[in-house]
Chain A
Amino acid sequence: MNELNQETEKNDNLSSGIAVSFAIHALIISFFTLKAVFFDAESIDFSQAVRVDMVALPDKITNELPPPPAKQDSKPQPPEKKPKTPPSEKAPEKVVKKTPPPKNPKDDGVNLEKVKNQQKNALDKLKAMAALEKIKQEASTPKPSESSNAAAAEPAKVKGNILSPGSSLTGLAKLQHENFASDLDRHIKQHWSLPEWLARRDFKAQARVYIDSRGNILGRKIVKSSGNPSYDDEVLATIDRSAPFPAPPEKFIAIVSVEGILIGFPE
């Protein structure tokens, strides 16, 4: 009799134990699910991970012709989540669709050196492929322009390696952009000086300078005045002293002569 009672007791204990266990497990799972759904807005840092251009080997693009609009919209997510990258154009979008699976293994425990080397190799490849890709683009059918992406106005030309106003930069162009920007920074800094009586007074001004393909000044103007005309004069004088500027890479000639370079004194 006792054994029977003990048996049933044990069974009861067991079932209640299982129930409790289930309940706790369910609680934990739902907690993490909810956390993942509603709070996982932290952007994953893709900057050290594979850039789009690394896997955006040009010949693969041609296979991606007719993606449905919904999918296309979801593609910009990874590049938009990158801290610095502006939204991608149409063509890189298509490429990106392929990247999430290959990216994931690289996200975890990225070896900086390895990535840098890979980047370098991929870039070299890119440079070689750039010409090839141009030819292929011209040969291929124009991309469908029913995408919601307004920047896809010139699908045949724009692929992320050539600039167009309001578009993104990826890969080769992005690196050239950064190199040019740091060259400019270094160059102008050499000429940026102020008399003591204007210094350390928290003046802030911004100016735009337009340069031609050889770095000569086409024009310059103050876009945000510091409020002190002498300070603004020193800003313009600094720009004048900095001529000629370092020659812009080919692809930026249009930008620096039309849009100009925005310079912050000091920011």
Chain B
Amino acid sequence: MKKLFLLLLTVLAFSSTGFAQENGIYIKLGEARTKKSLLAFPALQYFGSPTTASKYQSVGAELFKTVTNDLTVSSYFQFINQSAFLEDTSKTALMPAPGTPNGFNFQSWSAIGAEFLIRAGFSIVGNEITFETYVYHVAKANLVMGKKYKGPISSARRIAHTFSNDVLKALTGKEGMFLSRVVVSSDRSGGKAKEIFTMDWDGANVSQISNHRSISISPAWSPDGKKVAYTSYVKRVGSKFRNADMLIYDLTTGKRSLVSYRQGINSGAAFSPDGNHIYLTISQGNSPNIYKMSTDGSLVAKVTNGPAGAMNVEPAVSADSKLAYSSDRAGRPMIYTANSDGSNVKRITFAGVFNSSPSWSPDGKKIAFSGQSAGNFDIFVMNADGTGMIRLTSAKRPDGRAASNEDPSFSPDGRFVIYTSNRTGKNQIFISTVDGSEERRVTNDSYNYYKPKWSQNIE
């Protein structure tokens, strides 16, 4: 009885809301299928006099090639072949008719199915190049972005990268990663030595920054991209033997200084997000553990401690100061996360035989690492708690065996991962989208590269 009474009350209370309900039809579509946008990018127009055209053709070609490569790698666009163009773009202006005399016609671009159109041209005065660009949305016949870039001719690639970043920013609200650089250890200086090099993300503009004629490895960027910390087997003045010491090289001043030269290993540098501290692996005669050190070399804290003689190496720091590292405390090297003071240790990988080299995504939500299960290493990406693991690589070497892919590093926009792969016989740098859908080769030579690290966009 009481039950009925109570139910009666609730019914009366809810009867009004009940009538407000519809039985209309409500469809929830869920995730859409995605497709790349068709992009028409006609050849750049040259605004100088025809006599100088051939002289500057290479500059124009460099601009064009760099932008095309950037936008192709971005995985947003599919370029329409120039032979499909209906308009002779050397004869039409960069802006549309009817507003501009001799302007181009949107129809000739919508007819070939282009979603976006980039009209651009350049001119050179003295040593300065001006790059004029217009990005149009063809169907809506409106201007998405119109910008002019100026700079010395030598910075043509940087101008192109800046433009690509701006295109992505205009469309998606997030800047691209095209102005970023990579620091890597390589044997390209010749002989048995491994030195530290920096290069653009696409492998151009290689610059050697160490010359110890020794083995230099594990470089790392400071968050502002102005300093590189790395480890080198150097023989200090007055010492008999070489030791794996850590040095910091300032790219702006050229100054180089020893920052950690404790006995044993001082390696695997990872800067804290504010750039004032470095997390590194120090062995000091014992088993390697991770320490926190200020940039003047003084130790601040011991972050890991064994247990029982276990090795804790390869620290990686997220933007919100969480740590990831590789530890063999459970028998085999696995990936662990912890707070920056070493507390709250969590093991996040359980499969495989050897998991190492963790790298945080910029938003701290994903970790890429190199994992071995069947005799070779592959790159994997997982959520920061270890769930949702996907494999990025599975290439074969020329001899048919599986290639080893190691040392992943996330891009500053979180959409790509670079790593080294020996599938060509040498350790070359490759780049993959974070979901593993597109993989490309970055370096294209026969040198070996080790432990690349990706910087922020360097303006």
Contact = CB atoms under 8 A, between A and B. Distances in A.
Interface of A: 36-37, 40, 70, 73-74, 76-77, 80, 86-87, 148, 150-151, 163, 166-169, 177, 180-181, 184-185, 188-189, 192-197, 199-201, 233, 238, 252, 255-256, 259-267
19 contacts: A74-B4, A76-B15, A77-B8, A80-B14, A86-B22, A87-B21, A169-B23, A193-B33, A195-B34, A195-B76, A196-B37, A199-B34, A259-B24, A262-B24, A262-B25, A263-B27, A264-B29, A265-B29, A267-B28
A168 B23 contact: yes
A185 B28 CA distance: 7
A257 to B, nearest CB: 12
The 10 nearest A-B residue pairs measured at CB: A87-B18, A199-B34, A193-B33, A194-B32, A267-B28, A86-B21, A195-B37, A264-B28, A197-B171, A261-B25
B115 interface: yes
Contacts of A266: 28-32
A259 B36 CA distance: 35
Contact of A37 (B6, B18, B26, B75): B6
Given A73-B12, A264-B28, A266-B29, A167 B23 contact: yes
Nearest to B140: A233
Contacts of A180: 25
Contacts of B345: none
A195 B35 contact: yes
Contact of A166 (B19, B28, B37, B76): B19
Nearest to B144: A230
A3 B403 CA distance: 97
B81 interface: no
Contacts of B37: 195-197
Interface of B: 2-4, 6-8, 11-12, 14-15, 18-37, 75-76, 115, 140, 171-173
Given A86-B18, A86-B23, A256-B25, A80 B2 contact: no
A266 B34 CA distance: 13
Contacts of A163: 23
Contact of A188 (B2, B27, B33, B140): B27
A233 B75 CA distance: 22
Contacts of A181: 25-27
Contact of A73 (B11, B25, B29): B11
A167 B20 CA distance: 9
B23 A195 contact: no
B292 to A, nearest CB: 36
A255 B11 contact: no
B23 A73 contact: no
A195 B33 CA distance: 8
A193 B23 contact: no
A30 B457 CA distance: 71
A60 B26 CA distance: 33
A192 B30 CA distance: 9
Contacts of B31: 266
Contacts of A188: 27, 29
A151 B385 CA distance: 53
Contacts of A70: 8
A265 B3 contact: no
Nearest to B20: A166
Contacts of B27: 181, 184-185, 188, 261-264
Contacts of A252: 25
A259 B23 CA distance: 10
Contacts of A264: 26-29
B29 A185 contact: yes
Given A76-B15, A86-B18, 14 more contacts: A73-B15, A77-B8, A80-B14, A87-B18, A87-B19, A87-B21, A197-B172, A256-B25, A260-B24, A263-B26, A263-B27, A264-B27, A266-B29, A267-B29
Contacts of B24: 255, 259-262
A259 B34 contact: no
Contact of B19 (A150, A177, A189, A201): A150
A184 B25 CA distance: 9
B33 to A, nearest CB: 4
Nearest to A252: B25
A74 B5 CA distance: 9
Contacts of B32: 192-194, 199, 238, 265-266
Nearest to A234: B32
Contact of A194 (B22, B26, B33, B75): B33
Contact of A267 (B8, B25, B30, B172): B30
Nearest to B25: A261
B14 A196 contact: no
Nearest to B18: A87
A168 B22 CA distance: 8
B15 A87 contact: yes
B23 A37 contact: no
A201 B76 CA distance: 13
A196 B7 contact: no
A185 B32 CA distance: 12
* Highest count of chain B CB atoms <10 Å: which of A40, A181, A262: A262
Nearest to A194: B32
Nearest to A36: B3
Nearest to B2: A37
Contact of B76 (A80, A168, A197, A265): A197
Contacts of B75: 196
Nearest to B12: A73
Contacts of A255: 24-25
A215 B399 CA distance: 60
Given A86-B21, A181-B25, A201-B172, A196 B33 contact: no
A189 B30 contact: yes
Given A201-B172, A256-B25, A263-B27, A74 B11 contact: yes
* Highest count of chain A CB atoms <10 Å: which of B23, B29, B35, B76: B23
B427 to A, nearest CB: 31
A193 B35 contact: yes
* Highest count of chain A CB atoms <10 Å: which of B6, B22, B24, B75: B24
